Every structure is written in C-alpha cells, then in structure tokens.
Amino acid sequence: MAQLHWAGEAVRVGEICERDFNVERDGHMIPGVVWQPARFAGPRPLVLMGHGGSGHKRSAKMLRLGKIFAADCGWWAAAIDGPVHGARGPVTDAADPGYRQMWQRSSVVQDMIDEWGAVLDALSTLEAIDGARVGYWGLSMGTMFGLPYVASDARVRAAVLGKAGMRGSSVERSGIDKHFRIYASRVTVPVLFAM
C-alpha cells in the first residue's frame, strides 16, 4: 500500500498553496509536489503532471501549469520526478548518458505505471481530492510514461499527451515505440494530443 508523507508545511502564494510530498511504495520514495487552491469548497479534481526528458517536478513549465490548474481552475495538480530526474538523479538533458541508461532498464515503463498508480492511491486518500475526476498531463517524456499509464489506470478520465511519436531521437534512445504499440490502442479516455 502506498503511503503519503508530507515534506514540510504548505507554502501559500496568493491564491494557491504548494507542498512537497513523498509517496512510499515498496520501500522506496517517490518525490513530488502538489499545488492546490488556497480556498475551495468540496473535493476538487486532480491533474497528474509528467515532465519532459530534461525537466523535473519543479521545472518552469511544471510550476507554471501547477499554478494555473490551482489558481485559475480550482483544481489540485501533482508532479513527480521521473527516474534519474530531479531529486531522483542527475539527468538535466535528454542527451545525458544517464537518460539512455534509464531506458535500457526493461522495467522502467512498468515501474512508472506502478508509481503513478501509487501516487494516485496516496493522494486519493485526501478528502480534498475527488478521485472520480482525475486527469493526466504530460508531453515528451511525460507522454512516453504517461500514455502507458493512462491506458493502464481506469481512474484517469482525460489526458493531454504529445510531443512524442513513433520516430525521432527520443524514440531511438528509449525504444518507447514498442510500448506505444502495446498501450496506444488501450487508451479509452478523451485525449488532447499536442504536436
């Protein structure tokens, strides 16, 4: 069972609160951050956000989106560090050898499916989150892990995916095309695909 551990107190900035967390799963920690509206009534939707191959949970894009979802939409948003990114490793560039090595692990896609599921399990225990209204947003590496996750977890009701395809340098480094072939036809929720 996944367990949520808050890392410090929530920090309020204007109309949002931001807080770091770790989800414990099978003896290891998954580092993440949530953004939430400072004021809300009743359980709110949750958007899970997957960063790109040179990013991390607090990259400029993740911060901007988390704040938009929380302040403008009144939703919760959560991002985690992907393998070897952010608090989990040194990769800051998709050309880094560590990025290629990450993709050589045969279990990396299934591990991320399981980790996103554990994060959703843990966050869904919060009364402030409506577990029936969950979305996923991820581009580039966020799609490379996100498409298989969205196809595997029926709790996700809609997704934004894109900037990942069947050809190109990221596909060559990662070998993700075989996973796309397996999982793409299993996605049954509405998807906005960004080119």
Cβ proximity of 85 and 91 under 8 Å = yes
pLDDT digits (tens, 9 = 90+) for 114-154: 999 999 999 999 999 999 999 999 999 999 999 999 999 99
Mean pLDDT of the chain: 94
Q: Write down the pTM of the prediction.
A: 0.95
pLDDT of 180 > 80? The answer is yes
Cβ proximity of 81 and 56 under 8 Å = yes
- Percent of the chain exceeding pLDDT 70 equals 100
pLDDT digits (tens, 9 = 90+) for 3-24: 999 999 999 999 999 999 999 9
Range of the domain at 172: 3-194
Query: How many domains does the chain contain in total?
Result: 1
User: Which CATH number is 122's domain given?
Assistant: 3.40.50.1820
Cβ proximity of 15 and 71 under 8 Å = yes
Q: Please give the Cα distance from 79 to 188 (Å, whole number).
A: 23
pLDDT of 172 > 80? The answer is no
41 pLDDT band (50/70/90 cuts)?
confident
